[in-house]
Structure 1
Amino acid sequence: MRVKGTQTNDLGETDTIELITEGRFFIRDQHYYILYNETSLSGMEGTTTALKVEPQRVTLNRMGTAEQKTTFEAGILNAFFYVTPYGTMKIAVLPSKVQVDLTERGGSINLEYELQVDQEKISDNQLEITVEYLENYA
């Protein structure tokens, strides 16, 4: 799978991180689930990311060295605590786009959202996840 995150600050400066990794992709109770381990590239080594994917909503749950549970639903502000070894921050996301194009063979998720800290906009973000289902690894 490919995970690409892009962050653009108020000055127009863009930072992109792309991760290609193996993970698990399965269907349970008519919802898609994606699990993968973060790496040092994302700065969250030792963390497992799990995504529950519904047609209009994506729930991201990180467990390990970093902990976070966030729901992405277009137009709905979601505040949460982001727990790291260095401390805890209250963060919020305001998604403008939640696009899910998955089948049992894989596909993609595209999230676009505003990131806020202490109710102030920090950046515009895009998270693209592409899943390629490999029969041999099922």
Structure 2
Amino acid sequence: MRKEVLVTVRGTQTNDWGEKETIELITKGNYFQKNRCYYIIYNESEISGMEGTTTSVKAEQDKVTLNRMGTAEMKHVFEEGIPDDGNYVTPYGRFFSCVLPWKVEVDLTDVGGSINLEYEVELDKQKIGYNELSITVKEV
């Protein structure tokens, strides 16, 4: 089962003052299942600020691995209550990054579904806000 799907990625970041910024990307991607995990692969665009980057999402029942490769590079594992450290590499430099997920919901089947993540983000040991990330997959 490997198919082309419509991927909707909606990210909302809330800073310490309660100000919210939301970005939504709708694009075609690939979707498949391997070893009881679902994979979503899509290309970022100018809207996300990561044009030239491919994002791969590996979804397990209680764990999501987000891997970006290209002009921006980053890999984080989202498991409720477990901090994950990594590096965020951009054309402007490398930053230490950490995510602390407090909500990881995976509701995927062979025909699509959704992933919902809520987490705190730190860059170079500075908290930069709270994020909500929703990824939905629909057959084309």
| Shorter-chain TM-score above 0.5 | yes
Give 5+ residue unaligned stretches, structure 1. Answer: none
The residue matched to 1:22 in structure 2 has which SS?
strand
Q: Give the drift of 1:16.
A: 0.1
- Deviations, residues 55-103 of structure 1 (Å, cap 9, x unaligned): 0000001000011110000000001000011100001000000000000
- Given the two structures, how large is their TM-score scaled by the length of structure 2? 0.94
What is the RMSD of the two structures over their aligned residues, measured on CA atoms? 0.7
The equivalent residue for 1:43 is 49
Distance 1:17 1:35 in 2: 18
Within the candidate set 75, 80, 89, 1:69 is matched to 75
1:20 aligned to 2:26?
yes
The equivalent residue for 2:4 is none
Judge which range, 37-46 or 114-123, deviates more. 114-123
The equivalent residue for 1:2 is 8
Letter in 2 for 1:55: Q
Within the candidate set 13, 32, 40, 2:38 is matched to 32
What is the aligned-residue identity percentage?
60
Letter in 2 for 1:121: K
Give the ranges of 4+ consecutive aligned residues of structure 1 lying more than 4 Å apart after TM superposition.
none
Within the candidate set 115, 130, 134, 2:136 is matched to 130
Distance 1:64 1:54 in 2: 24
The equivalent residue for 1:59 is 65
- Deviations, residues 8-56 of structure 1 (Å, cap 9, x unaligned): 0001100000001000010011110000000001000000000000000
- Given the two structures, how large is their TM-score scaled by the length of structure 1? 0.95
Q: Give the drift of 1:120.
A: 3.1
Asked whether the equivalents of residues 25 and 35 of structure 1 are also in contact (C-alpha less than 8 Å), the reply is yes
